[in-house]
Chain A
Amino acid sequence: MTDNRHADLQGRIATEARDWLVLLSSGSVDEAALERFNEWRGRSPENARIFAREREFWQGLQALDGRARAVPLSAARISRRGLVAAGVATAVAGATLWARPDLLRRIDYRTAAGESAEVKLPDGSLAFLNTDTALALDFREGVRQVELLRGEAEFDVEEHMSAPFAVDALGGRSSTLKASFAVNVSDDAVTVTSVAGSVAVTSGGAPMLQLPAGLQSSYRKGRAPAAASIVDTASALAWRQGRIVFDGLPFGQAVHEVGRYLPERIVRATSRYDRNPVSGLFSTAEAFAALAALAGTQGLSVRRVPGVVILIS
Chain B
Amino acid sequence: MSESRIGQLLEAFASLRPRMEALARSRAGNREAAEDLMQDTWIKLSLSASGAAVENPAGFVTAAARNTVVDHVRKDRRRAEIDAEVQSLLWDATDDISPERVVIGREMLKMVESALDEMPERSRRIFLMNRLGGISHRQIARQLGISEEAVYYHIRRVLERLAAVRDSFGG
| B residues apposed to A, CB below 8 Å | 29, 78, 80, 82-93, 95, 97-104, 109, 112-113, 116, 125, 128-139, 148, 151-152, 155-156, 159-160, 162-163, 166, 171
Query: A24 and B163: CB pair below 8 A?
Result: no
The docked-state distance in angstroms from the alpha carbon of A303 to that of B88 is 11
Query: A280 and B97: CB pair below 8 A?
Result: yes
Shortest CB-to-CB span from A291 to chain B, Å, is: 11
Q: Say which size band chain A's interface belongs to.
A: 35 or more
Residues in A with CB closer than 8 Å to B80 are 304-306
Residues in A with CB closer than 8 Å to B131 are 25, 58, 61, 64
Query: Is A267 an interface position by the 8 A CB rule?
Result: no
Question: What 7 new A-B contacts, CB under 8 Å, besides A59-B91, A293-B93?
Answer: A26-B130, A54-B163, A56-B101, A57-B163, A57-B171, A64-B112, A279-B97
Query: B97 and A26: CB pair below 8 A?
Result: no
Residues in A with CB closer than 8 Å to B130 are 25-26
Query: B128 and A71: CB pair below 8 A?
Result: yes
Query: A71 and B129: CB pair below 8 A?
Result: yes
Residues in A with CB closer than 8 Å to B88 are 292
Most buried by B among A29, A57, A306: A57
With beta carbons under 8 angstroms apart, the residue of A21, A24, A279 that contacts B159 is A21
Most buried by A among B78, B102, B133: B102
Nearest residue, chain A, Cβ from B157: A22
Shortest CB-to-CB span from B107 to chain A, Å, is: 12
Query: B128 and A280: CB pair below 8 A?
Result: no
With beta carbons under 8 angstroms apart, the residue of A56, A279, A285 that contacts B132 is A285
